[in-house]
Structure formats: structure tokens, C-alpha cells
Amino acid sequence: MRHHGAGLLKLNRNPALVEQLKRDYTQADLTPPQRAMLDYAVKLTLTPAAMLKRDVEALRQHNFSDRAILDINQIAGYFAYVNRLADGLGVELEDFWKEKKTRGRGDKETRR
């Protein structure tokens, strides 16, 4: 999540929210639909075999359309796939991300 924070900040221009999401999305100031979306994405990422029809229904209860649910599913699945490929091959972050970290807060280098 760390190297995605810059992109998220460009989209929402809310540094406090980005920091909350990086620390613990369950404690972030989110709307109920946003929280439901992230709960779905986290479950799909961490325990895909545990997904149930009620997980999709939970999104529908927050007025996500079938198209939006498909988008959430495909984006979460794609990122999980790409991260597993990178991790499995030992791929490190591009130099751009390492340099940005060094110029930024001075955090230790992290892969994500």
C-alpha cells in the first residue's frame, strides 16, 4: 500500500485519509459503502476460498451495481495476482519509488 499512497493522494487530495488507510483502513474515516468495498477487497485478497454469495450481497446493500462489483472484484484480483508474481520472483520496487521514499519521510525501504 505504501507506494500506492502517492497515487491515492493525487486522486483524493486528503493526506490524513491516505495515512489512515496506510495504517489501518478499518479505522479510517470512510463511508459505509467505502468500508464495504474495502472489506470485500481484503477478504478476496487474503482468503479467496472463503468468499460467499453474501459478500457480493453486502456490496449490493450499499448500492453497488453489478458492474461496480465486477470492477471491484477484477481490480482486487489483478493487484493480488501482480503482487504474487512480483513476490514470487523477488521483484523489488523500481528505483523511482526508492528515491521518492528517500526524499519523502525517510521511511525504510519497503516493497509495498
Query: Tens of pLDDT along 57-110?
Result: 999 999 999 999 999 999 999 989 988 998 899 988 776 656 655 555 544 444
Per-residue pLDDT at 100: 55
- Phi, psi (5° rounding) for residue 110? -135, 155
CA distance 49 to 57: 17
Domain layout of the chain by residue ranges: 31-92
Say what the pTM is.
Answer: 0.75
Per-residue pLDDT reduced to its tens digit, 5-57: 666 777 778 788 888 888 899 999 999 999 999 999 999 999 999 999 999 99
The reported pLDDT for the residue numbered 103 is 56
Residue 102 has a pLDDT of 57
Q: What angle do CA 43, 56, 61 make, to 5 degrees?
A: 115
pLDDT of residue 3: 58
CA dist 99 and 47 (Å) reads 33
| Nearest in space to 37 (alpha carbons), one of 56, 16, 52 | 56
